[in-house]
Amino acid sequence: MRTAPQPAIEGDFALPDVFPLESGGTLRGARLRYAIYGKINAAADNVVLVCHALSGSALVAEWWPAIFSLPGVIDPDHDAVLGVNILGSCYGSTGPASIDPATGRPYGNRFPLVEIRDIVRSQALLLDFLGIARLKSAVGASIGGMQVLEWAIQFPSRVARATAIAVAPLNAMGLGLNHLQRQAIMLDPEWRDGNYAPDRQPQRGLALARALAVCSYKSEALFEERFGRKPDRSGEDPWTGNGRFDVAGYLDHQGEKFYSRFDANSYLAITRMMDLFDPARGFVSALQAWQRVEAAVTLVGISSDWLFPPGDVVALSEAMRAAGARCSYRELVSDHGHDAFLAEPELLIEVLRGGEKTG
Ligand SMILES: CC(=O)SCCNC(=O)CCNC(=O)[C@H](O)C(C)(C)COP(=O)(O)OP(=O)(O)OC[C@H]1O[C@@H](n2cnc3c(N)ncnc32)[C@H](O)[C@@H]1OP(=O)(O)O
Ligand SMILES: N[C@@H](CCO)C(=O)O
């Protein structure tokens, strides 16, 4: 399992016919797409659950190949890796583009509100089906990290080690940015109240949403180093007509790449679940939530992340420790911003090996 592994198994798991949601709604006939890399052993005690971020999929080797080398998270010679596409996404699990059994048409904007807690509960049912009583480890970044933290709270006896990277409840700036991204999609006339045909996406809105998000995934220092005030590499002149600067060409390119691989209603659904993530919800206090945690937790903050600032991750680790949870904090020092966990895998490996600041 050392380089670019292929999944040994790719499957679809049928959730119970009626899957109740935190929001009070239900999903009927929902399915989860999953992939398993390596072999689950006879005791099923070698499974590492990899939870994906906004635009990932069950095929973890495609978007996060570094996962197979993370020290303290995975033993590449003996462990099996499980990737599960989240409900609401567009990579195989039930989402807004899936057929609503009640109408025979895609859910569109009728797709119910799904929360991170629902995601984790759906994954726990998959684990039951696969015969996995307890995860050796759960790991994820961003929305993947939200899932890892919910796992540690909701199913404390089912996860031995939890590694959550670049994550905390979204702060006001993050909530504002997500709101603007959704507005960009919903103001595109092609969105049609969420009932667009599969081949008629609100491309401009989705591209703008992604471009806005990409700004929050990078850092000022990275943009200065990469683009500065250079004119666009295509030769456009920003001083005449609508010529762009290089950074604008980059953001437009990111937006265009995105609408060819992602669904606008999934984007709305997943950014909403990102907004709503609050591990303390339903508990008397955050302390009560963190007191449930039995796993050994590692939180990783990224020095230049302004979507999930490292200070917010430090505060989370302090809250967990105050509640008696075993939690250590490490910091990945990088100019790559929030996306450093994807863009600088060798640094992430180094940090988890213990080479960077800890607390
Ligand atoms: C199931 C799935 O498919 S999940 C898909 C995989 N998921 C992901 O990739 C996650 C989303 N991706 C990312 O977040 C990023 O690509 C990362 C973090 C992995 C890498 O980030 P970076 O190293 O900064 O590269 P980034 O993708 O931002 O930029 C490079 C791209 O911008 C292009 N580019 C840069 N400047 C410009 C410009 N001025 N004009 C046009 N294009 C530009 C490059 O040519 C390159 O294009 P390409 O990706 O089409 O080859
Ligand atoms: N850039 C990543 C991380 C977002 O948190 C993604 O698109 O999934």
pLDDT at 275 (0 to 100): 98
Q: Is the CB of 56 under 6 A from ligand 2?
A: yes
- Tell me the per-residue pLDDT of 208-264, one tens digit each, with 9 for 90 and over: 999 999 999 999 999 999 999 999 999 998 998 889 999 999 999 999 999 999 999
**More confident site: 358 or 192:** 192
Taking residues 266-278, what's their average pLDDT?
98
pLDDT at 5 (0 to 100): 85
List the single range of 108-122, 136-150, 232-246 with lowest mean pLDDT: 232-246
2 has pLDDT over 80: no
Q: Is the CB of 55 under 6 A from ligand 2?
A: yes
Q: Which of 305, 312, 334, 336 is catalytic?
A: 305
Listed in order, the ranges of the chain carrying CATH 3.40.50.1820 are 9-169+278-353
Residue of the nearest CA to atom 9 in ligand 1?
63
- Tell me the per-residue pLDDT of 157-194, one tens digit each, with 9 for 90 and over: 999 999 999 999 999 999 999 999 999 999 999 999 99
Task: Please indicate if the annotation marks 210 as binding a ligand.
Answer: yes
Percent over 90 (pLDDT), the chain: 92
**Three-state secondary structure call for residue 178:** helix
List the single range of 1-5, 93-97, 157-161, 163-167 with lowest mean pLDDT: 1-5
Q: Which of 94, 90, 88, 54 is nearest to 177 (CA)?
A: 54
177 Cα–ligand 1 center, Å:
20
Is CATH 3.20.20.70 correct for 9-169+278-353? no
Listed in order, the ranges of the chain carrying CATH 1.10.1740.110 are 174-271
Q: Which of 55, 86, 165, 263 to mutate to test the pocket of ligand 1 (most atoms within 8 A of CB)?
A: 55
How many whole angstroms from its chain centre is CA 110?
23
Distance from C-alpha of 73 to C-alpha of 84, rounded to nearest angstrom: 17
Taking residues 23-41, what's their average pLDDT?
97
Rounded (5°) CA angle 213-349-56: 35
Ligand nearest to the CA of 178: 2
338 is catalytic: yes
Average model confidence (pLDDT) across the chain: 95
Ligand nearest to the CA of 66: 1
Q: How confident is the model at residue 1 (pLDDT cuts 50, 70, 90)?
A: very low
The number of beta carbons lying within 10 Å of the beta carbon of residue 24 is 8
DSSP string, 185-219: HHTSGGGGGG---TTS--HHHHHHHHHHHHHHHS-
Q: Which of 142, 219, 266, 304 is catalytic?
A: 142
The one-character DSSP state at 64 is: -
53 has pLDDT over 50: yes
Crossing angle of helices 246-259 and 203-217, rounded to 10°: 120
Q: How confident is the model at residue 204 (pLDDT cuts 50, 70, 90)?
A: very high
Ligand 1 atom closest to Cα of residue 232: 39
pLDDT at 357 (0 to 100): 57
Percent over 70 (pLDDT), the chain: 97
**Three-state secondary structure call for residue 303:** coil
CATH of domain 174-271: 1.10.1740.110
Are the C-beta atoms of residues 354 and 331 closer than 8 Å to each other?
A: no
305 is catalytic: yes
Taking residues 133-159, what's their average pLDDT?
98
Residue of the nearest CA to atom 7 in ligand 1?
63
69 is catalytic: no
237 Cα–ligand 2 center, Å:
31
- Tell me the per-residue pLDDT of 296-349, one tens digit each, with 9 for 90 and over: 999 999 999 999 999 999 999 999 999 999 999 999 999 999 999 999 999 999
Q: How confident is the model at residue 82 (pLDDT cuts 50, 70, 90)?
A: very high
Ligand 1 atom closest to Cα of residue 234: 40
Ligand 1 atom closest to Cα of residue 52: 4
Taking residues 264-278, what's their average pLDDT?
98
pLDDT at 359 (0 to 100): 56
Q: Phi-psi bin for 142: left (phi > 0), alpha (psi -120 to 50), beta?
A: left
